[in-house]
Amino acid sequence: MSQSSTETKQEKTPEKKFSEISVLKFGGTSVKNIARIQHVAEIVKERLKHGKVLVVVSAMGDTTDYLLKLAHQCAKTPDQRELDSLLSTGEHISITLLSMMLKTMDVSARSVTAYQLGIFTESVHNKARIIDIKTDSLAKAFETCDALVVAGFQGVTANGDITTLGRGGSDTTAVALAAAAGAKYCDIYTDVDGIYTSDPNKIPKARLLDRISYGEVVEMARLGAQVIHPRAVELARQYGVILRVRNTFKPNHEGTSIDGGEDMEIYRSISGVATDKDQACVTIMDVPDQPGIAARIVGGLAKKAIVVDMIMQAFHPTAGLNNITFTVASTDLPQTIKTLEELKTEMGAKAVHADEDIAKVSLVGAGMAGQPDVAARLFETLGAAKINIKMISSSEMKITCVVSRGQADKAAKLIHDAFELEKV
């Protein structure tokens, strides 16, 4: 995908430059130890019967968390460039060990880092986006091997600095490489059978979905589901790559297919319930009711890379004043409060209040639009259970309710039952 941006909209899918290639991505739990790495190697060898294989691998188990811990032992606020350099070593270990294992199985394998392969990103550390993949380097690497094992989660800037792609970055790496290679499918191997109507650990009746649309998965992932990162799904949708979420430990199981969802609303209007407890609510009080105020607030937070969601503006009893409330990720709360306190004085606002006792519970489905009974049933279900709704947000594919964190799991189960999602 040379001279094109893989994470920005393109006019057309890149020309197919490779013969049929299987793209497989294995997460940290799949390569947690040597026994699991051997199991992954067996899956790769089996897939080689159908052509060459491109394997993207995450760091082993909790390696990234361990490296982060070491970094913070050295510096309270580690330098971002050095932190990326450190975190990238986790994947380097994984790809090398897997390549070694494959070679003992008489597989022609080669490990490559993002730097070696030419996965270029913007010059942003910790949350970089891929802007270019050198397809010539990819094709050349396959001239000398059948299995190319690539480090996920990382890239390199034009100046040669190592970057990381943020949470779920290995998924993004895999999809970007699948797009660059013109692959039809990208298999995301994890430790679950696929995507469920809700978290099966909390809702035993949750049902495994055999198929789901890109849009629904993006919504579910952004709303708390943890199977696959929304950036990877958006990229797959952009390039028409069909994703298959599969269980590493059940290699013959087909898992869940993620595609464009053509005709999906005909047979299923609701696909799942997602819960996100890592949220906080912030209100800036008595903001002057003037044009541009909201832009100053959201713009100030955007400069700190803070994503604002579920914005609500309420008129204050005192004429000319508003209260503006929104949600942010819990990890962004301290920086959010600090930024708003600075803006408060500039704008003449009265105070900044935070509520950490919140969670988002969301109903997601491609066929929800135009069905007013869906919202009615959702609100009736929570009301009957005496669960107070603090905020509401909706789109054509989702309805999100903010509730107290301690009631989130109960709310999700009640909604799952009310819409009989075990039968979808």
CB 193, CB 250: distance < 8 Å:
yes
Domains in the chain (CATH in brackets) are: 21-191 (3.40.1160.10), 273-423 (3.30.2130.10)
Rounded Cα distance, 280 and 388, in Å: 16
**For the sheet containing 162-164, what is the strand order?**
130-133, 119-121, 154-156, 162-164
Asked whether the predicted pLDDT for residue 265 surpasses 80, the reply is no
Rounded Cα distance, 403 and 400, in Å: 10
Rounded Cα distance, 416 and 207, in Å: 10
Q: What percent of the chain has pLDDT over 70?
A: 93
Beta-bridge partner residues of 233: none
Identify which of 128, 197, 94 has the alpha carbon closest to the alpha carbon of residue 412: 197
**How many C-beta atoms lie closer than 10 Å to residue 372's C-beta?**
8
pLDDT band at 228 (very low <50, low <70, confident <90, very high): confident
Rg (CA), the chain: 23
pLDDT band at 370 (very low <50, low <70, confident <90, very high): confident
Q: What is the pLDDT of residues 79-135, one digit of tens each?
A: 999 999 999 999 999 999 999 999 999 999 999 999 999 999 999 898 899 999 998
Q: Comparing 204-208, 266-270, 273-277, which segment has the lowest mean pLDDT? A: 266-270
pLDDT of residue 11: 36
Rounded Cα distance, 200 and 98, in Å: 31
pLDDT band at 317 (very low <50, low <70, confident <90, very high): low
CB 201, CB 413: distance < 8 Å:
no
Rounded Cα distance, 110 and 271, in Å: 40
* β-strands 130-133, 119-121 pairing: antiparallel
Identify which of 290, 294, 184 has the alpha carbon closest to the alpha carbon of residue 244: 184
Q: What is the pLDDT of residues 278-312, one digit of tens each?
A: 999 999 999 888 888 889 999 999 988 898 989 98
Beta-carbon contacts of residue 27 (< 8 Å; ≥ 6 apart)? 58, 170, 188, 189, 190, 191, 248
Q: Which two tokens stand for residue 383?
A: 């009301």
Considering only the C-alpha atoms of the chain, give the largest distance between any 2 of them, rounded to a whole number of Å: 77
Residue range 71-80: average pLDDT? 94
pLDDT of residue 423: 85
**How many C-beta atoms lie closer than 10 Å to residue 86's C-beta?**
19
Crossing angle of helices 408-418 and 372-384, rounded to 10°: 130
Q: How many angstroms from the chain centroid is the CA of residue 9?
A: 18
pLDDT band at 4 (very low <50, low <70, confident <90, very high): very low
Q: What is the pLDDT of residues 176-194, one digit of tens each?
A: 999 999 999 999 999 999 9
CB 164, CB 153: distance < 8 Å:
yes
Query: Between residues 276 and 224, which one has the greater pLDDT?
Result: 276
Asked whether the predicted pLDDT for residue 8 surpasses 80, the reply is no
Q: Which two tokens stand for residue 290?
A: 């003037």
Identify which of 338, 387, 334, 316 has the alpha carbon closest to the alpha carbon of residue 325: 316
**How many C-beta atoms lie closer than 10 Å to residue 204's C-beta?**
9
Beta-carbon contacts of residue 161 (< 8 Å; ≥ 6 apart)? 81, 84, 123, 125
**How many C-beta atoms lie closer than 10 Å to residue 10's C-beta?**
14
Mean pLDDT, rounded, of the chain: 90
Asked whether the predicted pLDDT for residue 12 surpasses 60, the reply is no
Rounded Cα distance, 28 and 11, in Å: 34
Identify which of 79, 162, 73 has the alpha carbon closest to the alpha carbon of residue 119: 162
